[in-house]
Amino acid sequence: MNIIQRILNNLYNPFVYRLVSIQSRIQQVKSLFKKANIFYEKPHESENILLIALYEKGILREDISNLLITAKKLGMYVIGINTLKLKDPDKYSNHFDTYIERPNFGRDFGSYKYGFMHIFKRGLSVNCERLVLLNDSLFYSKDNLSLFLEQMSSTDKEVLGACENFEFMHHLGSFAIGINKSILQHNKFRKYWYKYKNTDVRPLVIKRGELGLSKALKRSSITGKLDCLYNKIEFSKHIAEIKDLKETINLLPKGHTGGLGDPESIVLSPAIIYKLLYKHFFVLRNPFQEDKTVQIQQKEEQKNYEMFELDDIINSIMDSFSNEYTDLDNNIIIETIRGYLIGQFSNGSQIHRNALFLIKMKCPIIKLDLLYRGVFRDIDIIAMSKLLNQSQQFEFLDIIFSRPYGAKCLTGIERAKFSAGLI
């Protein structure tokens, strides 16, 4: 982002925030004159519940349709809350047990709130052993999807999220969380939803919803622990089992648009490995020696490593360090890389930063705003699609490419909203 654009964004931000807040209020008032429509509601016995927030118009996306059919095959009771309208809701009566369309206000947490209010009112939590919370901000891969739903719905963990998030505070990504009966029936959990105030202002949804939900889950849990399916321990095991890291290195983004997160902490380059090795082998062992890290990094940043292989990193490092550390070998470099990757796995939003790694870990969910938020470039998205089931590759690309990088494709007020994190 250029200097002029940054200055303009700083000038716009207070005005844009007020504008978005006013628009949210207007939408709230409009929603008061609209009612939710329950198209059908089948009796619930003792099945586990899948509650999914949707933003689907006309027909269901194919990956969502497959998700719901998979859930039904596993014996789950599916509740869909949609803020748009399906052309023929009855067509999907084999996908949903309860299907509801509500006014489009409050984003995904508005639908979550309506869904939980419906569950509490109908007393469905009395016989439900476990509930899985999902939304359609994800692409659902066919590969390992059934196993994923089983893990989320059959575990003995009080709370089990798919991915963690370390932005603002440690919390679970609200796009995929499984909770057990004791949480559903806990007064503090119910109180959270009764008191939750809907809004379309994204930062407030993150604060009240994303962060607030994790706090409510902790308070409602006996252990106060939020478990995660694809956590740092599982990633460490995944990395440890790989003898040759070349394939893993090639899963890293081949660049960065300057969007979500710090580019240097996402893109692994020789400059980063140089810095780590130099600090470990020279600065820590010789604290009074001149630190050459900055000079080394500047030297390496002049090279084009946007498309690199592991051998390129190793050869380049060996050439530069051969005169200073004769015992340096491939294993030391590879272990440095391995340690770096494990450390970076616990930074920021995991599902964004580690999307390619998660697919390799058999995670069937992919955030659909990876391109829009500027986390990955087109070349990374194409590489990601090749890891999916062949029958879903073009479907995935069609959906994700329909939302190009916001800082480039949006203009005027919409671009200011995007830059301020309001949309």
Whether residue 282 is predicted with pLDDT greater than 50 in this model: the reply is yes
- Torsions phi, psi of 389, nearest 5? -55, 135
Range 368-393 average pLDDT: 90
Residue with tokens 């919409």: 414
Of 162 and 14, the structure prediction assigns the larger pLDDT to 162
The CB density around residue 73, as the number of other CB atoms within 10 Å, is 10
Q: Which residue is it, tokens 């709130």?
A: 113
pLDDT value for 4: 46
C-alpha 309: how far from chain center: 27
Compute φ and ψ for 318, nearest 5 degrees.
Answer: -60, -40
pLDDT given at position 168: 82
Confidence (pLDDT) at 264: 39
Using pLDDT thresholds of 50, 70 and 90, give the confidence band for residue 417: confident
> Cα–Cα distances in Å, from 386 out to 29, 67, 238?
45, 20, 20
**pLDDT band at 418; cut points 50, 70, 90:** confident
Task: Name which of 174-183, 278-287, 405-414 the model is least confident about.
Answer: 278-287
What does the pLDDT look like over 125-144, one tens digit per residue?
999 999 999 999 999 999 99
Q: Which CATH class is domain 34-229?
A: alpha beta
Strand partners, 133: 51, 177
Cα 325 to chain center, whole Å? 41
Instruction: Please give the pLDDT value at position 236.
Output: 86
> Can you say whether residue 183 is alpha, beta or left, with left for phi > 0 and alpha for psi between -120 and 50 degrees?
alpha
pLDDT at 259: 47
Residue 293 has pLDDT above 60, yes or no: no
What mean pLDDT do residues 27-53 have? 95
From the CB of residue 322, how many other CB atoms can be counted at a distance below 10 Å? 10
Q: Which residues contact 163 (CB under 8 A, 6 or more apart)?
A: 172, 173, 176, 228, 229, 230, 349, 350, 351, 358, 363
Please report, for the chain, the start and end positions of each structural domain, with discontinuous segments joined by +. Answer: 34-229, 236-344, 365-419
400: pLDDT strictly greater than 90: yes
Mean pLDDT of the residues in the chain: 84
Q: What percent of the chain has pLDDT over 70?
A: 76
pLDDT digits (tens, 9 = 90+) for 222-233: 998 899 999 888
More confidently predicted of 233 and 294: 233
pLDDT tens figures, 201-254: 999 999 999 999 999 999 999 998 899 999 888 888 888 776 666 666 666 655
Instruction: Decide: 118 and 90 in contact? Cβ < 8 Å.
Output: no
H/E element, 307? none
Higher pLDDT, 383 or 13: 383
pLDDT at 211: 95
pTM of the model as a whole: 0.86
Mean pLDDT of all residues in 385-407: 94
Average pLDDT estimate for 355-361? 88
The SS3 assignment for 360 reads helix
Give the closest residue to 112 by CA, choosing from 128, 130, 136.
Answer: 136
> Token match 């005005």: residue?
15
Reported residue count of the chain is 423
Residues 399/365, Cβ–Cβ less than 8 Å:
no
Distance CA 77, CA 402 (A): 32
Q: What is the pLDDT of residue 69?
A: 98
- Give the pLDDT score at 338: 78
Residue 326 binned pLDDT confidence (cut-offs 50, 70, 90): low
pLDDT at residue 189 greater than cutoff 60: yes
**Residue pLDDT, tens place only, 146-158:** 999 999 999 989 9
Which of 4-8, 54-58, 229-233, 337-341 has the weakest average pLDDT? 4-8
